[in-house]
Structure 1
Amino acid sequence: MAVRGLRAGLWAVRPRGTGCAAGLRSDSEPSEPGPQPAGPATAALYVHWPYCRKHCSYCSFNKYVVPAVDEAAVRACLVRETQTLLRLGHVRSVTSVFFGGGTPSLAAPHTIAAVLEAAAEVAHLPAGAEVTLEANPGSADPTRLSGFKAAGVNRLSLGVQSLDDAELRLLGREHTAAEARAAVEAARKLFPGRTSLDLIFGLPGQSREAWARNLEAAQGLCDDHLALYQLTLERGTALEAQVRRGVLPEPPEELLADLYLSARATLAAAGFHQYEVSNFARKVSTSTLCPQVRRSPSSPTTPLSYRAPAAPTTSPTGGPSSSWAWGRGHTAASCRGERAAACARHACRRRILTRGCGRLQEVLALGLRTDEGVTQQRWGFFSPRLSLEDAFGAPGEARELQERGWLRLNGRALRCTPAGLPLLDSLLPALLCQLRRRWNAVEEEDGGGRASR
């Protein structure tokens, strides 16, 4: 059968250089134009399993429901893609691995093991590196979970989504609330302290009381990590079509805000710390590569790019003039991935260069999602010429947001306040515009100085 939509995504940080590491590129692996790395690189690896048993009513991710999966062919593609991307990225060490989907818990444990072994053959994969697998309760029985643990998985992200049977039916999930509880209990025994639960709020017709009951049930069931996602009615999904036709009510913005804010307050009272827009943890269970990586990835070392349906990215040191990154978009065509694997190449469809202000916009957008924000050190790593104070301390949109109490800029970082974090999507456009203006002004000043010299 055709292998569809397979991909491995790579995000890394590496020093700029002019040399190319010997033995890491074959004739069939195209080199990147521009500067090549000379020193070591670390990277976070995302591996996508695109198959599901059914289409959930809300999901618009790259996924396929097929009668049967030729897992040997899938495994060969993922192994080849993983090794090729690590080599193209000149990666020396993989800090974390995330298996997303789709439903990666439908994969055989030895497929997961093969990908991890392939990564370890090309780069150093430390024994303590976080290896996360997304799992649906319907494919998370104790035997399968034990197999994944033996394969090298040490953290589980369970797509519970709701603990209410009526809501699960609305979402098109294949499991029941009872099956979700059983899966969580089994996962916690195998991955104690490293089992995360996903919940969705803002469903059509969902009340404050129903959401409060869901959250209370999840707290009593969960380990030390919860991920809360507001439902997005994506065009082309069954749920969006029902809302658009008036079959289901569209949740009002005021209610959505209340559900999010009440959840934050409830979890804070229960000892959970909000370390990212959607992620809450107690004790030390924060994830180094949290579940939203497939949408807006982040890692402890560097801000990252992501382009659908996939984009492995590398990021060097240096300022705006030397800061560059290649994003690779992969094809979702039915047989390209299989052919590419057979030819010992890769399924890269196109390469996209991100540099200068584009990189800083990513630093800003991704950094502000976290509780630490965009630190002075991280910003300076990518922008030695335009400081955070120069970009956002002068009169303008950022100053107004600070006066409203939504943004804070000090000697340590630029970050959203607790009041501003829920408004991040609304705040970003103004901040990005201000950054672009300040960047252009610095470029003009530098250009004028060079011309005069």
Structure 2
Amino acid sequence: MTLPGARAGAWAAAAKVAQRRRRAEGAGRSQSPVTPSLRAALYVHWPYCEKRCSYCNFNKYIPRGVEEAAVRSCLVTEAQTLLRLSGVHRVESVFFGGGTPSLASPHTVAAVLEAVAQATHLPADSEVTLEANPTSAPASRLAAFGAAGVNRLSIGLQSLDDTELQLLGRTHSASDALRTLAEARGLFPGRVSVDLMLGLPAQRVGPWLRQLEDLLRHCDDHISLYQLSVERGTALFTQVQQGALPAPDPELAAEMYQEGRAVLREAGFRQYEVSNFARNGALSTHNWTYWQCGQYIGVGPGAHGRFIPQGAGGLAREARIQTLEPDSWMKEVMLFGHGTRKRSPLGNLELLEEVLAMGLRTDVGITHQHWQRFEPQLTLWDVFGASEEVDALLQRGLLLLDRRGLRCSWEGLAVLDSLLLTLLPRLQEAWRQKTPSPVPG
């Protein structure tokens, strides 16, 4: 099969596969509690796009005669292999990202979900998200993905200004985006997320805020605000370096962010993470796993994962990266069952650094109970309670350390990176005091 596109027959097959999966799940799998170490989220990377956007440095490729059946087979094989290796008993969420996974056929999505359901417990109501671009996701195609098992969409809208969309190299217009958003909301009410970018070259606060206010008249219950990062190796980086475009103004971007989050709060959205806003309880279950340092398994070219390889007798969590280039990845999967290119065991301090940095991205922060799951000896009070530098942040109202745990205030969330400059060294010092280096004999 050549991308993009899928025939109606494939859509019907996808629906049948998804129905079989749901029937199997309802037929009596054990509902006994599963310990946290045996739960995971699953990320599936679809590496192909219609074109490369000017700002994008993600692992993605323009398809040239891709045989989708072969890619599908490798995704299924790798998912089965890594789930078996992880010893995971329950997959809490699945996220199809990319690339542009809405270019894949619904049959591919259904096949992966069926493989997951056969390898472990995938509850029928698990969050299954698909990233979609407006030009690759007409209503009939979105409906087919729903039949295949998708129940949440993340739409790469990025801007409601056609000039900005052209600057970003997007293939859709603002009217395309709003049409797709309306169709998606009709099919997945309450479960559609949209991305909006800020801090573009020459962008101004007022016009951007009007975009956000316009979006609020059309959006569902989840919005992500992302600041543009001009990455080396992208077309946008070259344009800025050559003076064809002005460099983004970080102070203006900060003002957009502050004003934007205030507008969203006024509209009833909870800022539950630095870049993510939800109302009516529409938080992303999958992303919450990342921020809580839960286990997640990455499948597909260039996917990242964090899990304990219990099937191989592992005790420590590993950071894993799959082979980037799709053809090489497929060869490795066919030879070894998976295409893991890099495995890095995480030391206890490295894991605590992730717990701190990721947990503080959320409005809940790090509860004492959550911290003790990873570090039962050093409490949050032990690490941060006696630090003058941390106390200064508490006095300024940027941090809170109390009976609930450690978290940022609403003001502190906006400057988390600067707070970590104080908090991470304090954690490292407390760890050194706990585990002193051996004295040479």
- TM-score bracket relative to the smaller structure: 0.7 to 0.9
Give the deviation of 1:314 after TM superposition.
1.6
Whether contact under 8 Å (1:40, 1:90) holds in the other structure is: no
Q: Deviations over 1:283-308 (max 9, x none)?
A: 11111013xx8xxx616673779999
Structure 1: stretches of 5+ with no match in the other structure: 4-36
Give the deviation of 1:143 after TM superposition.
1.0
Structure 1 partner of 2:424: 432
Query: Using the alignment, how far apart are the partners of 1:311 and 1:441 within structure 2?
Result: 32
Structure 1 partner of 2:364: 372
1:328 and 2:281 matched: no
1:267 and 2:264 matched: yes
Query: Using the alignment, how far apart are the partners of 2:371 and 2:118 within structure 1?
Result: 33
Which amino acid in structure 2 is aligned with residue 252 of structure 1? D
1:382 and 2:377 matched: no
Structure 2 partner of 1:180: 177
Which amino acid in structure 2 is aligned with residue 94 of structure 1? V
Structure 1 partner of 2:6: none
1:414 and 2:411 matched: no
323 and 201 in structure 1: CA distance in 2 versus 1, 3 angstrom threshold: farther
Give the deviation of 1:334 after TM superposition.
4.8
Whether contact under 8 Å (2:308, 2:317) holds in the other structure is: yes
Query: Using the alignment, how far apart are the partners of 2:217 and 2:36 within structure 1?
Result: 47
Query: Using the alignment, how far apart are the partners of 2:82 and 2:421 within structure 1?
Result: 32
65 and 195 in structure 1: CA distance in 2 versus 1, 3 angstrom threshold: same
Aligned residue among 329, 334, 340 for 1:348 = 340
Which amino acid in structure 2 is aligned with residue 120 of structure 1? A
1:86-125 → structure 2 map (5 Å cutoff): 86-125=83-122
Structure 2 partner of 1:78: 75
Whether contact under 8 Å (1:76, 1:341) holds in the other structure is: no
Give the deviation of 1:239 after TM superposition.
1.0
Which amino acid in structure 1 is aligned with residue 306 of structure 2? T
Query: Using the alignment, how far apart are the partners of 2:273 and 2:133 within structure 1?
Result: 23
Normalising by the residue count of structure 1, what TM-score does the alignment of the two structures yield? 0.85
Moved more, 186-195 or 389-398: 389-398
Give the deviation of 1:232 after TM superposition.
0.6
Aligned residue among 43, 54, 58 for 1:57 = 54
Query: Using the alignment, how far apart are the partners of 2:401 and 2:427 within structure 1?
Result: 14
Whether contact under 8 Å (2:295, 2:307) holds in the other structure is: no
Query: Using the alignment, how far apart are the partners of 2:323 and 2:294 within structure 1?
Result: 26
Give the deviation of 1:428 after TM superposition.
1.4
Whether contact under 8 Å (1:211, 1:259) holds in the other structure is: yes
Structure 2 partner of 1:32: none
Give the deviation of 1:333 after TM superposition.
3.5
Structure 1 partner of 2:147: 150
Query: Using the alignment, how far apart are the partners of 1:356 and 1:71 within structure 2?
Result: 41
Aligned residue among 278, 297, 303 for 1:310 = 303
Structure 1 partner of 2:395: 403
Aligned residue among 327, 330, 334 for 1:338 = 330
385 and 104 in structure 1: CA distance in 2 versus 1, 3 angstrom threshold: same
Query: Using the alignment, how far apart are the partners of 1:233 and 1:299 within structure 2?
Result: 24
Whether contact under 8 Å (2:131, 2:156) holds in the other structure is: yes
Give the deviation of 1:411 after TM superposition.
1.3
Whether contact under 8 Å (1:303, 1:363) holds in the other structure is: no
Query: Using the alignment, how far apart are the partners of 2:151 and 2:201 within structure 1?
Result: 35
Query: Using the alignment, how far apart are the partners of 2:74 and 2:398 within structure 1?
Result: 46
- Secondary structure, aligned partner of 1:72: helix
Moved more, 404-413 or 150-159: 404-413
Query: Using the alignment, how far apart are the partners of 1:257 and 1:145 within structure 2?
Result: 35
Query: Using the alignment, how far apart are the partners of 2:36 and 2:255 within structure 1?
Result: 49
Structure 1 partner of 2:44: 47
Normalising by the residue count of structure 2, what TM-score does the alignment of the two structures yield? 0.87
Query: Using the alignment, how far apart are the partners of 1:305 and 1:432 within structure 2?
Result: 26
1:126 and 2:131 matched: no
Which amino acid in structure 2 is aligned with residue 219 of structure 1? L
Query: Using the alignment, how far apart are the partners of 1:270 and 1:372 within structure 2?
Result: 20
Which amino acid in structure 2 is aligned with residue 281 of structure 1? A
Structure 2: stretches of 5+ with no match in the other structure: 4-33
Which amino acid in structure 2 is aligned with residue 410 of structure 1? D
Whether contact under 8 Å (2:82, 2:297) holds in the other structure is: no
Higher helix proportion (structure 1 or 2): 2
Q: Deviations over 1:262-318 (max 9, x none)?
A: 00110111111110011111111111013xx8xxx616673779999333222599x
353 and 344 in structure 1: CA distance in 2 versus 1, 3 angstrom threshold: closer
Which amino acid in structure 1 is aligned with residue 307 of structure 2? T
Q: Deviations over 1:200-255 (max 9, x none)?
A: 01100011111111101110110111011011111111112211222211222221
Q: Percent identity?
A: 52
Structure 2 partner of 1:198: 195
Whether contact under 8 Å (1:85, 1:312) holds in the other structure is: no
Query: Using the alignment, how far apart are the partners of 1:162 and 1:336 within structure 2?
Result: 35
40 and 167 in structure 1: CA distance in 2 versus 1, 3 angstrom threshold: closer
428 and 301 in structure 1: CA distance in 2 versus 1, 3 angstrom threshold: closer
- Secondary structure, aligned partner of 1:68: coil
1:68 and 2:65 matched: yes
Q: How many residues align?
A: 406
Whether contact under 8 Å (2:131, 2:154) holds in the other structure is: yes
Query: Using the alignment, how far apart are the partners of 1:444 and 1:109 within structure 2?
Result: 55
